[in-house]
Structure 1
């Protein structure tokens, strides 16, 4: 890979600048022995196997902690159980190898350092008896871990897991330095171009606004001129309009006068009726019957009727 070769050259330049000659020699040796530039999981397995055979607990723990912080922590949470299972199996393989090499001191050191951490896990409950167990390779609890099949299966599973993880993980930031620099340069160029485009659009918008405001002012002046001319035309046309030939209305009739005349006629009729009733009552009170008077004076109707009219009129006038 071109990026890996570029980083190797940068690393060599840095080591020469700092004067790390021994590190530079080791880098040259490893690069000559490296057949390809790609990562191989077998090298990590070799490091683990070498540290376990030497009963170097610190090397095993530091290498696993490095992988856990930089690789395994970036995985999905569903792989957490598998990672923990591989770690515990690798530590059990360390104890079995130390027991096979008669390194009881390393076994005691292991539990002294990790007892507080392991006692919280249920699968390590039986393993606290391991330092005191005689013939542990024959014990039903630990005999499986002494078999070559279990140990080979563990190393193969760890190799496959590391290979899969490294294939899925992105390249380190140090390897992507050149790509990141080119990407940043492209982003800066895009930002500069977009800023220039934005400034151009703002200037065009201001010009359009100025043109539209000028057009509105001119159209407003023309509209006001048209309104003034139409107003003058309206004034001139109003002065030319002749009034309509409308005849004046007739005499205004006062309704109160009508009501008063009606009231006078009703009063006169009521007065005449009252006089007739009074005359009838007076004739009845005098003891003479108008019917008998007609019988007695049947021959002289004209005389009696005229005299009665005079009496009734005189009586009515004198009574009123």
Structure 2
């Protein structure tokens, strides 16, 4: 109740400020300051009583107890009258003993002079009138118990428990019930998430049994445990250097200018569908009115050239909300694994942790003296946040307790923490550390290709470094990292343009290949985890087959507004330039659609498949006035939620509904 009262006081104060009711606000603050109920916080009431005892304010003590009797105790049934009387007697004895222990005989005499007429008729005080005349009352068998610390603690605990129970009796105002409702909604959401994960696990087990019946040869152990991989082995023999790797790139059709990107979709299940344990997209019935999606941007329409644009939109944008607590360009914006919280980081190093269900609300603000360059949610528990700095440290932050749990010193020679990735098991995390650029810290830019780097594995529980990976042909800055679904494989993209695939059971790199001319900015596994997608400095979106080392499965050229560097023009010819740092593309829960950046919002594309890997733009989310620099797509709930962060510090949260199968 106390927490709900304090939160309601803050909401009322915020409302009065918003309405400009300054007199009412002053009166509210004055009443809160003089509040004898102490906000229904028992600890503050006990502090007040103890303060009155320590200051020998007998009149104030009697007045405050009389207020409690009138305000609270008078409502009790007669059966509790004896309990209240015993507590008052113990409080007065606590006061008298305190005066003797602190050698204030005048205060002891004052107590009996003022309260003598009231107490002399009470049996429990009959022997206490001799107390001021005893030389060592603490040694007297009759009073020794009351001078012990155990008796004082027992009395205070009893009074605390009595008041705590008492505050639960009176009915709460309707305004205070919102806290209970919010907690109930959170509990229901968590239960639904647990049931959804159980259902997904059962579906995956059924799928695994079907796939195992088709396997005709034995896979390596680390691939056998990778449920989503097909039945072809990883090619370990192509530990290729960038000069020796054969690259087979099918020439894209001349009519295709569109960047290639993975697809994603989110669906909403009706109650009947939920009972079957499936999420089916809603389809239109004959006669229903058409729902128009927002028009595609020119860049999105251009991206769809080379093929007939689809007349049907797979998604309906239900709503779009804005989070505007940042005051500078966004660097990273990530949703946790449960889909309940978002962590966003701007170029000023300010981190905001916020929720959007049932309402958009900031949960924590993290300020740092040193610059922050990267962030990542832990998987177990998902309330923990990893924060990488520019001075060689990684902080483990508890978003519920709002405090740092631990700060790890990574490497003084490689102080820039460019990327963090937490293993799905939650037992470890990957940290990419890079040296400073030759010209300084290089704010607003990634570390140049010539900068060296390290890729480290840290244990989350012991908070110690487990090992350092070998980066061939030479130590280089790793820009981006991503685990597969069970943590057996790790893919990285580096500043030298090479993608490296690591076996996390053997801690080696079975394959690597040159992927881009320039740096690799963003890399992710596909849904089936047989391929890897990447975006690089050369503006290409490429799909790589991880079973055939260095073989491109598809390639698409993207516009600069989707890959960076991002440019924000201002007054008098001023331009702000930002090199990509966060995630540049994100898939939906089924890997059929992909969300990419654009100059005015996120754009959703359908992956058409085939060797060309053409992207078909199906929906422009819009809503931004500055270039979008990072995206994320959360499908933990039935309605898919897209996040787009821009250079003006605004984050748009778009809720989607699948409109067709």
Rg larger in 1 or in 2?
A: 1
TM-score relative to the length of structure 1: 0.46
Quick check: which one's strand share is greater? 2
